[in-house]
Structure formats: structure tokens, C-alpha cells
Structure 1
């Protein structure tokens, strides 16, 4: 399933979401301006490498300053490894980020995005603590946005494309179904990556899982207005926001 758009109106322009997309695109265009060797050096210096973060010995071997490992927790969120990586992440951020920003407010949304993005990366780092492969991309932070959306708008409609024998099928499904299936796919892919190293490599599955769970569990801490839970006639839970309170 390929998400095309959500059918969920917002009240305000998504300024931070657009700003994050623009920054990511600008950084990627800068990457393209570098030579192959310079680009690899850029990834090593500003991508997050768990081995450098947890073991000073690796820092000595590479000559990298220890402070750079901590700074890379932030900088790696704006680096992407290719056009597909960038477009996939930014498209997903636009679909789900605007409504989450609308509820949290611009400043709280930016704080939520950066905080959960770092926590998602640390989830990956704890599992692959000796890895010397730089981690790049906004996937962890965007997964957290998806987790928050899952809790805030479980019944919002998502328009998805389902290819059926090369025939495009456009279907509207509830957000909880799309995001729930997405989470399960990340979960099983993460298990396979542990059981069969290298078979599904190249993707930080546990950063996705950590981000989604962090976003779903902590979004209320960043709410601009009180968040309350409700249960509809069918007994399904969701969340709403008390707009009468500042």
C-alpha cells in the first residue's frame, strides 16, 4: 500500500512541516554537490554511528571528536542517502505531519519531532551498539509523527494506492488500519533482521519501531491543549482535544 494523502482537514498552515521538508531538501542538494569521497566523509562526520557514540576507542581510530557523536544525534535527521529515501520520507512527513503540527502547535511539534527522532535513533543504537555504519535519515522522527497520528486520528481516512496485477486500485482506509499494518511490517522486518543479518539490511527497522512507539506514548506531553480519550458507539477508543481551554 502506498499512501497518497489523508482526508483530514487542518486549521492552520503547516509551517514547521514545510520548513522541515525544505531543510531536508536543501541538505540533500548540498550532498549532491559533493564528490563521491566528500559525500562519504560527510556521512561519516554527520551521520550517527552507534560505535562512535558508545565506545571512545572508535573515536580514537577515526580521529573524530567525541562531541561530534552527540551532535550527530541531531544532524543525521536531515541527511538522506538517495532520492527515493528523501522523497519517501518527505512525502510521509507531509501526509501525517501537518495534522499533528496543527494539534501540537508549531513550537511543540518541532520539539516533539526532534526529541522523538533522537529517542528513535537511540533505540536502534542500543540494539546495534557496536555498529560502525552511519545512520542517516528522518525515518525515526517521521515514525514518531505516525505514532502520534495513530493515537490522535485513528479514524481519519487515508487514500492509498494498491497495485493489483499492475492495475492501480485507489482505496480509502482508516488511519489505524494503515498505520497498524505499517507497524506490523516494521516489527516483523526487525525480527528477521536479527534472525537473518544481512537479509533485510540497510534499513533501521528498530529506529522506526522506537519512533512509532515513542510518538504514540509521549505525544500527550507535547499537546498544546488538554488531550482526552473517548470511546465511540462501537467501543473504539480515540483522542480529542479540548479546544475551549488555552
Structure 2
């Protein structure tokens, strides 16, 4: 089941969404280059979100060690950087497909700047949740999954009755379908079971090898839904 578009009319060009998709593709191409030169492991372990590194840096900084606080700031930046890294072809294709379909509509209702802030904030909140859930984890967590889950949560609250134009691939036959938007919440989590397909070689321990990535996405979904509820309430 592949989402193609929706029946919600947009008046403005989703410029930020285009940029986000473009940046993700550019970074992934850079990852492929690094994989060929055997530098990808170092790159991902330096820029990906590793909960143990952040929790450890914060513990050291509590002793009021100034140098340790610099490390904390650097590690916290990984909450943002990790949003633009992906560990497999299936992960980036699935994420960007959902971002293409749902992100443009959310950007239309939020506006360009607010949408960008919302997207980054959702990724950071998701990352913080993953750190709190398993602070000793030493495996990098990467991907825009949490941010896109927040986009999906916002979309569902705003447009619960929207129809998503989709295709169901059956070998060489593609069947066009119209799927209610809320069903894509379930499909979003299910299709990620296949995100290991086309994985990149990221030594020494790979990436996203923990169930907490799903809990982080639930946090992202709730964050997006809560944001839209709060926005409607304050208007």
C-alpha cells in the first residue's frame, strides 16, 4: 500500500517540505559515498543519536566541568543531525514518501517557518524520549521517523476524514485505492518492519537495533496530535 497524494487542496507551494526531502536525499547520497570508502561507521557514530553518550556527558557535566558542558552541547546537536540520517534504502524511501504526501498539507496549514520549527522540534522531542527510555543504549538511532510520525499525527487530527490516494502493488499489477487517512497510522508502524531491507553497512554495531525507536515514534505521533489540538484550542 503506497500513498501517492491526498484529496486536501493546498494553496501554497510546500517549499520547506521540498527542502527537507532534498536535504535527506543529499545526506543519504553522502552516506553511500562514505560507505564505499569505509568511513560511514565513523560518520554515523559521530553524528547519530547515541543515548549513552548524551546521558554520560550530562552526568559528567553535573560536576560543573566546563569542558564537559561543551561535550553536552555537541551531543545535544545530534538530536537534530540524526533526523537527516538513514540506515537503509527502505527507511529513507518510506520516510520521504510519507513526508511527501502528508508534509505538504501540514506545511500549508502551519506556514513555512512554523512547519520547519515543528518538524525539528518533533525530531528533538522524539530523541529526548528515546534517551529517557534507554539512557545506556550505545547503538546509534537515526532517521526522520519520529518527526514524520508527528507530521502524521498533526494531519490526522486536522483532516480525520481525508482520503489518501494509494496504490496496492501486486507483482506487476497496481490497484488504485482511496484509503481513509486514519488507517495510515497503523500502516505507518507496520511498514517499518521492512526498514531493514537494503541496509547500509554501518560498523561496529549497526543502527536502530532497539525497540525504543517505536516508542519514540509513538511520542512523535502524540506530540503532533497534541500540537494541533493545542493550536486549535488557542485560536
1:100-119 to 2 correspondences below 5 Å: 100-119=106-125
Give TM-score, length-normalised by structure 2: 0.78
Aligned counterpart, 1:89:
95
* 2:182 is aligned with 1:182: no
1:130 counterpart (133, 136, 146): 136
Is the contact between residue 46 and residue 68 of structure 1 (CA under 8 Å) also seen in structure 2?
no
Give TM-score, length-normalised by structure 1: 0.75
Aligned counterpart, 2:157:
151
Look up the SS of the partner of 1:159 in the other structure. Answer: strand
Is the contact between residue 117 and residue 141 of structure 1 (CA under 8 Å) also seen in structure 2?
yes
Output the CA distance in 2 between the equivalents of 1:80 and 1:164.
27
* 2:205 is aligned with 1:205: no
Aligned counterpart, 1:75:
81
- Tell me the matched-pair count: 209
Q: Note the residue ranges of structure 1 that are not aligned, 5 or more in a row.
A: 187-199, 230-241
Aligned counterpart, 1:52:
53
Aligned counterpart, 1:39:
40
Is the contact between residue 112 and residue 219 of structure 1 (CA under 8 Å) also seen in structure 2?
no
Output the CA distance in 2 between the equivalents of 1:70 and 1:19.
23
Output the CA distance in 1 between the equivalents of 2:210 and 2:56.
22
User: RMSD of aligned C-alpha atoms?
Assistant: 2.9
Output the CA distance in 1 between the equivalents of 2:58 and 2:122.
28
Q: Deviations over 1:86-106 (max 9, x none)?
A: 111111101000010000000
Output the CA distance in 1 between the equivalents of 2:24 and 2:170.
33
Aligned counterpart, 2:195:
none
Is the contact between residue 183 and residue 209 of structure 1 (CA under 8 Å) also seen in structure 2?
no
Aligned counterpart, 1:216:
225
2:145 counterpart (131, 139, 150): 139
Is the contact between residue 51 and residue 134 of structure 2 (CA under 8 Å) also seen in structure 1?
yes
Look up the SS of the partner of 2:139 in the other structure. Answer: coil
Q: Note the residue ranges of structure 2 that are not aligned, 5 or more in a row.
A: 61-69, 192-207
Output the CA distance in 1 between the equivalents of 2:81 and 2:58.
22
Output the CA distance in 2 between the equivalents of 1:154 and 1:105.
20
1:206-245 to 2 correspondences below 5 Å: 206-220=215-229, 227=232
